[in-house]
């Protein structure tokens, strides 16, 4: 039995929560390896709904869950999320939740800077969640971050605080804000340290030991490949690499441990926030997709933009992430449409492309080239086998496979965990 890495193959919000929950019941370890608390998962287990934005999805089932070094951790949000899940009956202890000792921390000054920048950008705003993710990653790369292991050595923090404050004080002054209150920051860190440190571990060591012992490891990514800082619709992207290869660097397990790469793909396309979206629908069909799919962000509550399935973008995601198979979600949202469209290319200033050009000015004017298919009037909701699907729905799935050059491994037909058609078992590869 191998390991599995789960990524979003669009702009996030593809329904990773249900798929990861479905897989985590069969995994021994679930690892979150990038991002922060800016990306949410909604899990429906029985009659209970859990909304996670930082903790790995495996935690609700008691599976050993790991926050890897590639994650930026807001310790105060971590504490609040643990408390909320505890109130819902989830048992969370240092025995079933580990945090990498080298995780960079998101501090209050990071979220402050995030908001100041967004407010100052005007029409050029990126549409961040204002939760400090980007500034925290900047400090990590600038070698001035405060990390989880620093919480055990706060008396030796002066040099790091000098580096941190020299950078942030200059930025804050530019926005007309006072310098960082170092005393208040240290006091806040001293208060939160006893909450975080019991979970701190050399997770790279634990993961390598688990692999040698034949344990099944599930790697859980946040956001989607189209938000990758290198491969996404830059600059309207997140601040980390969201492709499958990041599972290695963000956890400390070598590249050969990534295993089966499962790309989660919605049967249509959605996006939250600013940025290009060639197949976006601003008509009645777009509204219908949003209403039927309950398209609101788990973390922000923002309404998602909706459009037809974009095979060009998913094919790019499959290529740059080495996707082995896809999990197609929300097929049931398409029930009842007379006609469906799939984007198979773009026209940009009179030139045709079979990929999305890299420059934002070209992306914003890209006109989708559509292929039309008949829809189906029967319901796919709750289907658990191919025999339960209308023939036209199967034809739609098969056409997607052809266009994205990747096979379907799973089909999800409702938020319920068991309403899943298993075509290929990722853990069996």
Q: Which residues are catalytic?
A: 13, 41
* DSSP-assigned beta bridge partners for residue 260: 4
| E strand or H helix that includes residue 247 | helix 246-249
Of residues 285, 246, 253, the one with CA closest to residue 269: 285
Q: Give every CB contact of residue 53 below 8 A, 6+ residues apart in sequence.
A: 37, 38, 39, 40, 41, 77, 81, 298, 299
Q: What is the C-alpha to C-alpha distance for residues 215 and 267, in angstroms, rounded to an integer?
A: 32
Core vs surface per residue 298-314: b (16+ CB within 10 A) or e: bbbeeebbbbbbbbbbb
Cβ contact 307:277 at 8 Å: yes
Rounded to 5 degrees, φ, ψ at 50 are -115, 135
What residue has token string 């209970």?
48
**Upper half-sphere CA count for residue 409 (Cβ side, 13 Å):** 22
Per DSSP, which regions of 166-206 are E strands?
Answer: 200-201
**Helix or strand or coil: residue 148?**
helix
Contact present, 94 and 199 (Cβ < 8 Å):
yes
Give me the residue label for tokens 């420059």.
359
Alpha helices in 254-359 (DSSP H): 284-293, 311-321
Dihedral (Cα; 352, 355, 356, 358), 10-degree rounding:
-110
For the chain, the farthest-separated pair of C-alpha atoms sits apart, in whole angstroms, at 67
45 touches 77 (CB < 8 A): no
The secondary structure of 24-77 as a DSSP string is HTT-SEEEE-SB-TTS-EEEEETTEEEEESSS-GGGGGT-EEEE-TTB-B-HHH
Residue 380: exposure state from Cβ atoms within 10 A (0-12, 13-18, ≥19): buried
């Amino acid at each position: 039995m191998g390991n599995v890495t789960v990524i979003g193959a669009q702009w996030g919000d593809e329904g990773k929560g249900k798929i990861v929950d479905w897989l985590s019941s069969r995994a021994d370890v679930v690892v979150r390896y990038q991002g922060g608390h800016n990306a949410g998962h909604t899990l429906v287990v029985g009659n209970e709904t859990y909304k996670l934005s930082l903790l790995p999805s495996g935690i609700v089932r008691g599976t050993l869950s790991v926050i890897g070094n590639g994650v930026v951790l807001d310790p105060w949000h971590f504490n609040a999320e643990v408390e909320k899940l505890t109130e819902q009956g989830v048992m969370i202890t240092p025995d079933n939740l580990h945090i990498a000792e080298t995780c960079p921390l998101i501090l209050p000054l990071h979220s402050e800077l995030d908001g100041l920048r967004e407010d100052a950008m005007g029409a050029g705003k990126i549409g961040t969640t204002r939760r400090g993710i980007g500034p925290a990653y900047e400090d990590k790369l600038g070698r001035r971050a405060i990390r989880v292991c620093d919480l055990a050595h706060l008396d030796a923090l002066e040099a790091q605080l000098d580096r941190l404050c020299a950078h942030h004080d200059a930025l804050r002054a530019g926005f007309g804000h006072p310098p960082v209150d170092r005393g208040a920051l240290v006091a806040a860190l001293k208060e939160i340290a006893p909450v975080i440190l019991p979970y701190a571990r050399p997770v790279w060591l634990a993961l390598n030991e688990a692999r040698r012992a034949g344990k099944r490891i599930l790697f859980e990514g946040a956001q989607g490949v189209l938000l990758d800082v290198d491969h996404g619709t830059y600059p309207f992207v997140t601040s980390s690499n969201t492709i499958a290869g990041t599972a290695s660097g963000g956890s400390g397990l070598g590249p050969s441990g990534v295993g089966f790469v499962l790309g989660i793909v919605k049967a249509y396309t959605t996006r939250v926030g600013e940025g290009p979206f060639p197949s976006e629908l601003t008509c009645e069909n777009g509204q219908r997709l949003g209403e039927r799919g309950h398209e609101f962000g788990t973390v922000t509550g923002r309404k998602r933009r909706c459009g037809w399935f974009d095979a060009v973008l998913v094919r790019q995601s499959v290529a740059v992430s080495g996707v082995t198979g896809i999990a197609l979600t929300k097929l049931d949202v398409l029930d009842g449409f007379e006609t469906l469209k799939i984007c198979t290319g773009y026209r940009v200033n009179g030139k045709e492309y079979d990929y999305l050009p890299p420059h934002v000015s070209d992306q914003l004017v890209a006109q989708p080239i559509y292929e039309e298919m008949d829809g189906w009037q029967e319901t796919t909701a709750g289907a658990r086998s191919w025999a339960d699907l209308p023939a036209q729905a199967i034809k739609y799935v098969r056409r997607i496979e052809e266009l994205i050059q990747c096979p379907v491994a799973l089909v999800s037909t409702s938020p319920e965990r068991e309403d899943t058609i298993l075509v290929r078992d990722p853990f069996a590869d």
